[in-house]
Amino acid sequence: MGTLLENKKNLNVILDKSKDYGYVYKNDDEKYVQMTLKEIIDNSMLKMREKLVVLNDDIRKTKIYNDVSDMNESKIKKKYCDYVNEPPVKNIVSELISSIYYDKKDECIQIYNSIKDNNDDNIERLYGY
């Protein structure tokens, strides 16, 4: 879980521990949009699930690890269902993902500063950057 944001192109979320929302880079036109912490975490989990399913499908295509791939698929689905349906699991996962985003906040702000427009002051006004 600690390598979730090691790829620089994934540093698109700015969270502050004192707020229940953050900003997520959406696209070149809209830049950063405000989202609740719950929305950010839910979207992150869904994207991770989707990426794991694709990776697992790629493994299955090799026809070398079919048994492992079948087992992985069921685990991926179960873990995501646990996240969605089990409040204690959701709370723990939310805390873990939030802490990863918090730890990467400074790097995310550097990226924000490199792509922001002169008129884009939402994040600066709210977070003081």
Report the pLDDT value the prediction gives residue 127, as an integer from 0 to 100. Answer: 58
- Kindly state whether residue 37 falls inside one of the protein's structural domains: yes
Evaluate whether residue 3 is within a structural domain.
no
Q: Please, what's the b/e burial string for 35-71 (b: 16 or more CB within 10 A of its CB; e: otherwise)?
A: bebeebbbebbeebbeebeeebeebbeeeeeeeebee
Instruction: Specify the residue for token string 């269902």.
Output: 81
**Distance, CA of 13 to CA of 112 (rounded, Å):** 9
- Read off the amino acid at residue 113: N
Residue 41 included in any domain: yes
Output the pLDDT for position 91.
96
Q: Copy the structure tokens of residue 93.
A: 């996962």
In a domain, 108, yes or no: yes
Predicted local distance difference test score (pLDDT) of residue 92:
96
Does residue 123 fall inside a structural domain? yes
Instruction: Judge whether 1 lies within some domain.
Output: no
pLDDT at residue 2, as a whole number:
42
Cα 33 from Cα 17, distance rounded (Å)? 18
Range of the domain at 44: 8-127
User: Considering its fold, how many domains does the chain have in total?
Assistant: 1
pLDDT in tens, the chain (129 residues): 445 555 556 678 898 888 889 988 887 777 888 999 999 999 999 999 999 998 888 888 877 776 777 788 889 999 999 999 999 999 999 999 999 988 888 888 888 888 776 545 556 655 554
Q: Would 121 be classed as within a structural domain?
A: yes
Closest CA to 22 of 38, 11, 6, 45: 38
Residue at 78 is within a domain:
yes
Can you give the pLDDT at residue 7? 55
